[in-house]
Structure 1
Amino acid sequence: MITQIKIRGYRIYRDFTLRPNARLNILVGGNDAGKSTLIEAIALALNGRIGGRGVLEELNPYWFNTDMVEEFVALRKAGKKVALPEILIELYLDKRDDLQGLCGAINTDVPTNACPGVSLRIFPNEEYRDMLDEWLKSPTALLPVEYYTYEWRSFADQELTRRPRALSVAVIDSRTVRSTSGVDYHLRQILSDHLEPSEKASISLSYREVKASMTESALSDVNTRLALLEASLENEPMALAMDQSSRSSWEGSVTPHVDDVPFSMAGQGQQAAIKISLAMKRHSAKASIVMIEEPENHLSHTSLATLLSRIEALATDQQQLFISTHSTYVLNRLGLNSLLLLNRNTASKITELTPDTVRYFQRLPGYDTLRMVLAKKVVLVEGPSDEIIFERVFKDKYRLTPMASGIDVISMRGLALARCLELCAAINKQVAVMRDNDGVEPVKLREPVEKWLDGARRELFIGDVSDGKTLEPQLIHHNGEKGLRTILGITVAADLETWMIREKTEGALRIAESTDALIPPAYMEAAAKFIHG
């Protein structure tokens, strides 16, 4: 398994280090946070290829970190003789017996770390030094990758020409089918690993015999005619024969079918599910690494639930999973304790969640924890009416909506406050929580969650008992019954508090849309000040 990942100079990763979880890693982050790039870099270092093609075939200037390239160009133009940018990807592996052939200390760890591992380095090719020197006279952000080369080596400083047998990797991208045939490089790899060597040899032999028989049967009459053409220099007979070279091997001709339908014609959700199942059912004796991009794509909720159940059932200690997702359901279901929060050049791990809290969110997989994880700042409220009125209060005070200020207002919808605060503390999220006092003194309500409150990044705001038990009487207390009736358009014939409690959301919407001044409850105003900063 991978114990440490180092990426330098590759795409958005200028200098990135990650120590992944041994079994399950759920990669979460905003757009352009680096989830797909991380998976791509791992596959590149393990396979020495990308999408089934060689490094130099796919290499382009946009592989290099833009900040590094811009800094290089600026320093060169300023007369500084700095080296051309390079890319380095290192994967540190655990010390298993079958990985000892990759063991060594040729890596960038300090102090010296002798362990199994592989590295892939892309750097200028000294054979083109003259061309490079000419280009360096007027450098641009488009690096001359034609003059670059690469090294793929183990930490034992042995050159690698193919993926080490002790390592197996599968990449399943649920977002798209990368091959026009529907059977891409990684699926061929997965299928190949499901066959024993004797089975492969038997299929290969039978395939050659079939091709040879075609030469003797279907092509026989054609060859008789071609032999009479006298097209060669010495009038040797010309004939057609089936290609027996390795480039026309059976792997390129045998295509999987699903329910009698070619794999390439199956739905994309079906294709992704099949790839995931096959990858995770591979021989467990190997150190397998399975990487899945956005398993939620192209799947209905029911199908996604089935697929996640399959992933949970197939997961073993012999496989390490990396799953990128934009789905709260995937995150909650597979376990928040496996979360890796990516933000371009950094990664944060959840290490403090108790097993009970992880199980709590797993039982509530529909709750939008992903919003909480990805938001810059969070305000947690008890329900939709609190959310609507807080947004009005915040906008009145700061002339911007909370969202425009980078603040996400999220309804807890009955979730346990302690669980939400524990999650926010685990990811060090700045959060303001508002709740009703329900007739209980605020100091008593703080006690169960006090350990997660620090007054700087996490704080709880509760209305004064003397102002009312819930938000509605609090609003009446601060605005007066007459003023609030005007805002809500409620006649004196109706009991104001009863109407507001019965019509919580409608009342909140009327307050939000009103142009009349609103005096907010003190605790709500304090929460706005705290989260605004």
Structure 2
Amino acid sequence: MIRKIKVQGYRIHKNLSVEPNRKFNLIVGANESGKSTLMEAVALALTGRINGRSVSEELNPHWFNTAVVEEFIKKRVSGVPVSFPEILIELYFEDVPELQILCGAVNTHVPTTACPGVSMRISANPDYAAELEEWAKAPTSLLPVEYYRCEWRSFADKELTTRPKVLATAVINSHTVRTSSGIDYHMRQILGDQLEPAERAQISLEYRRVKASLSNTALNAVNTRMSSVHATLHNRPIALAMDQSARTSWEGVVTPHVDDVPFSMSGQGQQSAIKISLAMNRHAGRAKFVMVEEPENHLTHTSLVTLLSRIESLAGEQQQLFITTHSSFVLNRLGLDALLLMGHDVTAKLSTLDPETVNYFKKLPGYDTLRIVLANKIVLVEGPSDEIVFERIFHDRYGKRPMACGIDVLSMRGLSLARGLELCAALGKPITALRDNDGIDPDELRGPVDKWLKKGVRELFIGEVTHGETLEPQLIHHTGEVLLRDILGIADHADLLKWMTREKTEAALRISASEKKIVPPACMLEAVKFAHG
């Protein structure tokens, strides 16, 4: 298994170091945080290929980190003779017997350490030193990659030309480009791994026999007639025969079918599910590293549940999975403890979470955990009505909605406050938590969650017991019954508290839409100030 990944100078990652989980890795991050780039870099170092082609064939100037290139140009223009930008990807593996052929100390780890590993280095080719220096006299942001070389080596400093069998890799991406024959490169690779050598040989021989038989059947009459036509220089007969060269092998014409429909014509969700199942099939026993891009794409909720169950059941101890996702359902179902939160050259793990909390979120897969994970600042409130009223108070004070200030207000909707605070504490997220007192002393309510609170970062605000147990009596106390009836449009003969308690969301919506402002409860106003900062 991969125990450490280092990516330097590749696309968005200037200097990234990741220590992945041994089994599941759920890679989550905001747009442009480098999730797909990390997956691409790992696949590059494992297979020496990208998009089905060798690294040298696909190499282009846009692979290089723009900040590194800009710094290089700036220094060269000012006369500083710095080296040309490079890309380095290193994968450090567990020290197990089957990987000993990759073991060595030729890596950038400090202090020097020997372990199995592979590296992909893309650097200026010294054979073109003169051409590179001539180009550097008037450099541009597009590096002359024609003068670069790609070195794929093991930590034992041995050159790799093809992927070692011990690094069998499957890449599943519903967006991969199909070949002209209707199956993309990754699918062909997965299918190839399902076949034993004897099976491949048998299919190949039978395919050659079938092609040869056409010469004695369908082509026979044509060849008899053509034999009388002397079209060659030396009057030798010409004939039609099936091409038996390697470029017309059976792999190019045999295609999988799903319920009698060609694979390439199946739905994209079905294609993605088939790729994942084939790659993770224990019978194949070959794909040690499985990378899946957004398994939720093109799938209904029911299909996604089925696919995730399949992933969980197929995942073996000798497979390491890397999965990018934008789905809270995927994140909750496969486990928050597998989370790798991506930022620019930074990753965070949730290995400190209590196993009970991980199981709690697995049982609550519909909760929008991803909003907590990705938000800069979080406000946790008890229900939709609290969320609506909080946003109105925030807008009245600062003239903007919380989201415009980078603050996400999230209703707990049954989520345990303690679990939510533990998750935020593990992520180091600033959080404003707001809850009713329910007739209990605030100090008593704060006690069980105090270990996850941090003054100035994560604070809990609770309504005063003397002004009512929930939000509704608090609003009546602070705003006053007369003004609140006017805002809500409630007649004098109606029981205001009973109506507000029964119609919580409707009351909150009327407060939100009213031209008149309420007088906010003290705890909610303090929470608004704290959240804004």
Deviation of 1:489 after TM superposition, in Å, equals 2.2
Tell me: CA distance 1:178–1:340, structure 2 relative to 1, closer, same or farther (3 Å): farther
1:64 matched to 2:64: yes
Deviation of 1:122 after TM superposition, in Å, equals 1.0
SS at match of 1:166: helix
Q: Which amino acid aligns with 1:315?
A: A
1:323-402 paired onto structure 2 within 5 Å: 323-402=323-402
Report if aligned partners of 1:168, 1:288 keep a CA contact under 8 Å in 2. Answer: yes
Q: Which amino acid aligns with 1:440?
A: I
Tell me: CA distance 1:477–1:38, structure 2 relative to 1, closer, same or farther (3 Å): same
Q: Which amino acid aligns with 1:376?
A: N
Residue equivalent to 1:163: 163
2-side partners of 1:361 and 1:261: how far apart?
39
Residue equivalent to 2:51: 51
Tell me: CA distance 1:458–1:47, structure 2 relative to 1, closer, same or farther (3 Å): same
2-side partners of 1:98 and 1:286: how far apart?
13
Report if aligned partners of 2:170, 2:287 keep a CA contact under 8 Å in 1. Answer: no
2-side partners of 1:56 and 1:229: how far apart?
48
1:105-116 paired onto structure 2 within 5 Å: 105-116=105-116
Q: Which moved more, 1:373-382 or 1:119-128?
A: 119-128
Residue equivalent to 1:513: 513
Residue equivalent to 2:206: 206
TM-score by length of 1: 0.97
Q: Which amino acid aligns with 2:295?
A: P
SS at match of 1:341: strand
Post-superposition CA distance 1:373-414 (Å, at most 9, x none): 110000000001100111111112222211011000000012
Q: Which amino acid aligns with 2:353?
A: L
Q: Percent identity?
A: 64
Report if aligned partners of 1:193, 1:282 keep a CA contact under 8 Å in 2. Answer: no
1-side partners of 2:378 and 2:353: how far apart?
19
SS at match of 1:191: helix
1-side partners of 2:27 and 2:54: how far apart?
26
Residue equivalent to 2:174: 174
Deviation of 1:285 after TM superposition, in Å, equals 5.0
1-side partners of 2:148 and 2:393: how far apart?
58
Q: Which amino acid aligns with 1:240?
A: L
Report if aligned partners of 1:333, 1:362 keep a CA contact under 8 Å in 2. Answer: yes
Deviation of 1:231 after TM superposition, in Å, equals 4.2
Report if aligned partners of 1:50, 1:58 keep a CA contact under 8 Å in 2. Answer: yes
1:303 matched to 2:303: yes
Report if aligned partners of 1:177, 1:268 keep a CA contact under 8 Å in 2. Answer: no
Residue equivalent to 1:27: 27
1:74 matched to 2:74: yes
1-side partners of 2:105 and 2:98: how far apart?
17
2-side partners of 1:516 and 1:45: how far apart?
62
Post-superposition CA distance 1:212-265 (Å, at most 9, x none): 222343334444455555444444444433222222221111101111111111
Report if aligned partners of 1:286, 1:318 keep a CA contact under 8 Å in 2. Answer: no
Q: Which amino acid aligns with 1:508?
A: A
SS at match of 2:321: strand
Post-superposition CA distance 1:294-314 (Å, at most 9, x none): 111111111110111111111
Report if aligned partners of 1:439, 1:465 keep a CA contact under 8 Å in 2. Answer: yes
Residue equivalent to 1:98: 98
Q: Which amino acid aligns with 2:483?
A: G
2-side partners of 1:238 and 1:383: how far apart?
83
Report if aligned partners of 1:193, 1:283 keep a CA contact under 8 Å in 2. Answer: no
- The gaps in structure 2 that reach 5 residues or longer are none
Report if aligned partners of 1:99, 1:166 keep a CA contact under 8 Å in 2. Answer: yes
SS at match of 2:113: coil
1-side partners of 2:355 and 2:103: how far apart?
35
SS at match of 1:516: coil
Tell me: CA distance 1:50–1:399, structure 2 relative to 1, closer, same or farther (3 Å): same
TM-score by length of 2: 0.97
Residue equivalent to 1:143: 143
SS at match of 1:141: coil
2-side partners of 1:22 and 1:284: how far apart?
20
2-side partners of 1:386 and 1:175: how far apart?
41
Report if aligned partners of 1:103, 1:116 keep a CA contact under 8 Å in 2. Answer: yes
2-side partners of 1:170 and 1:355: how far apart?
30
Q: Which amino acid aligns with 1:294?
A: E
Post-superposition CA distance 1:35-58 (Å, at most 9, x none): 111111111111111011111221
Report if aligned partners of 2:282, 2:314 keep a CA contact under 8 Å in 1. Answer: no
1-side partners of 2:300 and 2:105: how far apart?
48
SS at match of 2:168: strand
1-side partners of 2:239 and 2:56: how far apart?
38
Tell me: CA distance 1:137–1:234, structure 2 relative to 1, closer, same or farther (3 Å): farther
Q: Which moved more, 1:138-147 or 1:403-412?
A: 138-147
Tell me: CA distance 1:113–1:287, structure 2 relative to 1, closer, same or farther (3 Å): farther
SS at match of 2:288: strand
- The gaps in structure 1 that reach 5 residues or longer are none
Q: Which amino acid aligns with 1:92?
A: Y
Report if aligned partners of 2:280, 2:287 keep a CA contact under 8 Å in 1. Answer: no
